[in-house]
Homo-oligomer: A and B are copies of this chain.
């Protein structure tokens, strides 16, 4: 049967019908008063989601565009930065920073393990000359399903006193608590196809006052991603370039739904789904890839021993039309990932666990009675 796909990947995530309807409206002029009113409303909504009184700017582009904007607007050629790297998106930070000639000191952890807070602490405390200009890391590492301890690392950065903290919150914002102001985060980037419950195409950059101070001194070349031009036009509820007007329609509706649900309820839902996905997988003997206690609220990565993860993933797609994500780079075939981020309810998670369990049974890979996994997931959902 066609056209009954369920997305359980960490993006694009499922989109509510009314968000799609908003998306499919006739476009309006991006310099019209009507569009400016819309920008004004979405800007307020974005500040609510980020728990900030600072600026949150919207870029037409992917999350990577926002990551790049975060770096090139606050740093200068040759600047020393500490970059956390424990997965594909940590690696991406390193690549972006190096592409612009930054002096990158990498703090690495094995894929599946969280970044070590103490390594950041040590490096920052050792930097008595205050040479480190920024600490850059990924909060929820989409490739491994690991959540890094952004709150603690941010405290170490605050103790340093000079460095900025720049965070990729692409799969954490709208899934767990990311209080930008309370944690003192300077640059936070995210993307629309994640917790926002809308399709890809917009990305977001929150900038603190300290980030804007740094921006004044930044000498890296830029044009489309020059946040100064976004800030100048944002004052007039406008954009420097033609934005993806229809995606703004969708953004407003998605954020309205989020506001109606409330931040704490959203966070609880994601935490519950993490518990259910983890419990279901463990019950059927599938080990989690993320180190115990460090699983992301948005993605559960599973590393089935002695089973080709791609075979299982494709069989689930074939039989039940649920799209799971594969492993990236060296994890291909070793890991599959269940996305439970955004417009996902308890039924979706229960179904995903049931479908994986049932598919394992069909493939003669299930070493327990069918139903054990679903039971464990259901129990976690109660």
Contact = CB atoms under 8 A, between A and B. Distances in A.
A79 to B, nearest CB: 13
B7 A323 contact: no
Contacts of A28: 5, 7, 12, 323
Candidate in A61, A96, A101 with the most chain B CB atoms within 10 angstroms: A61
Would you call the interface of chain A mostly helix, strand, loop, or mixed? loop
A9 B60 CA distance: 20
Nearest to A246: B199
Nearest to A249: B199
Nearest to A191: B242
B243 A62 contact: yes
B9 A29 contact: yes
Contact of A199 (B15, B27, B61): B27
Copies in the complex: 2
A339 B149 CA distance: 52
A223 B99 contact: yes
B60 A223 contact: no
Contacts of A15: 26-27
B7 A200 contact: no
B220 A221 contact: yes
B26 A244 contact: no
Interface stretch (A17-25, A50-58, A289-297, A349-357): A17-25
Please list the 10 inter-chain residue pairs (A to B) with the smallest Cβ-Cβ separation, ordered nearest first. Answer: A24-B24, A201-B244, A12-B27, A62-B241, A199-B246, A65-B224, A64-B241, A20-B24, A27-B199, A200-B242
